[in-house]
C-alpha cells in the first residue's frame, strides 16, 4: 500500500541520517516533526538521545535505590505520585512487571533530583519520566530525563511557579493572533489558563489516555523549541472553537469544557498547525504581550490559584470554590460584547511543516537546543 511504502521510505531516511558522519541531527528533527513522527520505539531509542545531545556510549551506572531513598525530602511525594500512576502503564501489563517499573520510576526521579539540587520536584513530573522509562528503559531514560530537566523542563522545576506562569501567559496571545473571537470570549469568561497547566507540565502525558499519541507528541516536542507545548495547547483550544463559543460564557463552564481534553484529536493536523503558528508568531514576537498578560490578569488572585492547583493538582476544585464565592458576592449579569475584530483574523499560510524540508521546519528546530534555562532576559526585551 501507499502508506506502507511511505513508512518504509521514512524508516530508511531516519537510518540514513543516523548512519551519516556526523549524524544528521537536522534531518532527525524533521523526521520527528513530520507525519507519523519516529514511528517505532526502537527508532526512538536511537533518535531521542540525538535530539537531546545525550551521549549513549557513556551512560553512568544507576545507583542502588536504597541509598537514594534514605533521607530524601522528595521521596514520600514521589512515592505517592508513582503509586497513583497506574493508568500510565499499558493495560494488561502483569502486576509484578508494572510494580518493577514503578520502583525504577522512583529511582530515576530521585537520582536526577539528587544530582541536580537546583531542580525542584513537581506533581506531574513523573508523568514525563514514565513515558521515557516505557520507551527507552531505565538507564537511558535517566540520562534523557536529566538532560530534559535541565533544559526543556527547567522552568517547571523552579522553587516557585513564576516561570511556569510566564509560559502559560503565551497561550492567550497565540489564540488572539489566530482567532480574536475565541480570545475575547475566553477573556470575558475570565477562564484564565489554569486548564492548560497539567497539559504543559506533563507534556500532555497526564491527560491523553492512548500512549501512542503521547509518544508521538514527545517526538515533536523533543525536536522543537521548549515553548512548542504551549503552541500545541493553543492549537487544541482553536480546534475546539465552536464548542468554546457555544459554551455558557462563565468561568466554570468554559474551564470545565477546556479541561476535558478530547481523546480523538487529529494529532497530525494539530502538530502541523502548531509548527506553522510557531513560525508565524515566534515567541520573541509574543513576549511583550505575554508579559502584559501577567500585569493585567483579569481574574483575581490567580497566584493563589496556582499555589492551590500545584498543591492539589485539581485546578477545577480551586476554580469551583472561587466561582461560588463570586456568585455569592453578587448575581451580576454579564453581557458579552464581542467586538468586531474580524479584520484581525489571520489567514494561516499553511507552510505544511509535515512535509517541510524547508525554512519553516528549520526555523523551529534551529532554536531548540539553544534555549537558555533562565530565560527572563530574553522574554522581556
For residue 205, pLDDT beyond 80: yes
pLDDT band for 136, please (50, 70, 90 cuts).
Answer: very high
Q: Which of 4-13, 111-120, 312-321, 331-340 has the lowest mean pLDDT?
A: 331-340
Query: In terms of domains, do 75 and 115 share one?
Result: yes
pLDDT of residue 68: 81
Q: Is residue 115 part of a domain?
A: yes
| Residue 178 scores a pLDDT above 70 | yes
178 and 63 inside one domain: no
Across 42-51, 69-78, 111-120, 192-201, least confident range: 69-78
| Strand, coil or helix: 173 | helix
What pLDDT is stored for residue 323 in this prediction? 56
Domain membership flag for residue 216? yes
Residue 170 is placed in which grid cell?
A: 503565551
Look at residue 98 and tell me if it is in a domain: yes
How sure is the predictor about 287, in pLDDT bands with cuts at 50, 70 and 90?
confident
Q: Which residues does 167 contact at the CB level (< 8 Å), separation at least 6?
A: 155, 200, 227, 230
The last residue of one of the domains, among 281, 302, 333, is: 281
Which CA distances in Å does 9 have to 15, 39, 218, 253? 10, 12, 22, 46
Residue-level pLDDT at 295: 61
Instruction: Please say which residue of 106, 122, 153 terminates a domain.
Output: 153
Residue at 21 is within a domain: yes
Instruction: Judge whether 356 lies within some domain.
Output: no
State the DSSP string of 75-122: HHHHHHHHHT-GGGSPTT--HHHHHHHHHHHHHHHHHHHHH-TT----
Whether 329 maps to a domain, the answer reads: no
Distance between CA atoms of residues 285 and 170, nearest Å: 10
pLDDT in tens, 22-31: 999 999 999 9
- Read off the pLDDT of residues 83-133 as tens digits, 9 standing for 90 and up: 988 888 988 899 999 999 999 999 999 999 999 999 999 999 999 999 999
What's the mean pLDDT in 140-167?
A: 92
Write down which residue in 266, 281, 296 finishes a domain: 281
pLDDT band at 318 (very low <50, low <70, confident <90, very high): low
Count the neighbouring beta carbons within 10 Å of the beta carbon of residue 61: 7
| pLDDT > 50? residue 342 | no
**pLDDT band with cut points at 50, 70 and 90 for residue 319:** low
Amino acid at each position: 500500500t501507499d502508506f506502507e511504502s511511505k513508512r518504509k521510505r521514512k524508516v530508511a531516511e531516519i537510518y540514513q541520517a543516523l548512519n551519516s558522519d556526523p549524524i544528521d541531527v537536522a534531518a532527525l528533527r524533521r523526521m520527528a516533526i513530520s507525519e507519523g513522527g519516529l514511528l517505532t520505539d526502537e527508532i526512538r531509542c536511537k533518535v531521542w538521545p540525538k535530539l537531546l545531545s545525550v551521549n549513549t556510549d557513556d551512560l553512568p551506572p544507576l545507583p542502588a535505590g536504597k541509598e537514594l531513598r534514605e533521607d530524601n525530602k522528595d521521596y514520600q511525594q514521589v512515592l505517592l505520585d508513582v503509586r497513583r500512576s497506574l493508568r500510565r502503564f499499558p493495560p494488561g501489563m502483569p502486576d509484578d512487571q508494572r510494580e518493577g517499573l514503578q520502583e525504577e520510576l522512583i529511582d530515576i526521579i530521585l537520582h536526577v533530583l539528587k544530582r541536580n539540587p537546583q531542580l525542584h520536584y513537581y506533581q506531574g513530573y513523573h508523568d514525563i519520566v514514565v513515558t521515557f522509562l516505557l520507551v527507552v528503559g531505565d538507564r537511558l531514560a535517566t540520562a534523557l530525563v536529566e538532560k530534559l530537566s535541565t533544559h526543556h523542563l527547567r522552568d517547571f522545576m523552579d522553587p516557585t511557579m513564576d516561570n511556569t506562569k510566564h509560559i502559560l501567559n503565551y497561550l492567550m496571545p497565540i489564540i488572539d493572533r489566530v482567532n480574536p473571537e475565541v480570545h475575547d470570549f475566553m477573556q470575558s469568561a475570565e477562564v484564565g489558563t489554569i486548564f492548560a497547566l497539567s497539559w504543559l507540565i506533563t507534556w500532555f502525558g497526564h491527560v491523553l489516555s492512548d500512549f501512542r499519541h503521547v509518544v508521538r507528541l514527545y517526538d515533536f516536542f523533543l525536536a522543537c523549541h521548549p515553548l512548542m507545548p504551549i503552541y500545541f495547547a493553543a492549537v487544541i483550544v482553536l480546534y475546539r472553537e465552536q464548542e468554546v463559543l457555544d459554551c455558557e460564557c462563565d468561568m466554570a463552564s468554559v474551564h470545565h469544557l477546556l479541561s476535558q481534553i478530547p481523546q480523538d484529536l487529529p494529532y497530525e493536523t494539530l502538530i502541523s498547525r502548531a509548527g506553522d503558528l510557531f513560525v508565524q508568531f515566534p515567541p520573541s514576537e509574543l513576549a511583550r504581550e505575554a508579559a502584559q498578560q501577567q500585569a493585567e490578569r483579569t481574574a483575581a488572585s490567580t497566584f493563589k490559584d496556582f499555589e492551590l492547583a500545584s498543591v492539589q493538582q485539581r485546578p477545577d476544585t480551586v476554580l469551583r470554590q472561587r466561582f461560588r464565592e463570586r456568585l455569592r458576592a453578587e448575581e451580576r449579569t454579564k453581557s458579552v460584547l464581542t467586538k468586531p475584530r474580524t479584520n484581525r483574523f489571520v489567514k494561516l499560510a499553511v507552510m505544511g511543516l509535515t512535509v517541510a524540508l524547508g525554512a519553516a521546519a528549520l526555523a523551529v528546530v534551529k532554536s531548540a537546543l539553544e534555549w537558555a534555562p533562565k530565560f527572563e532576559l530574553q522574554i522581556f526585551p
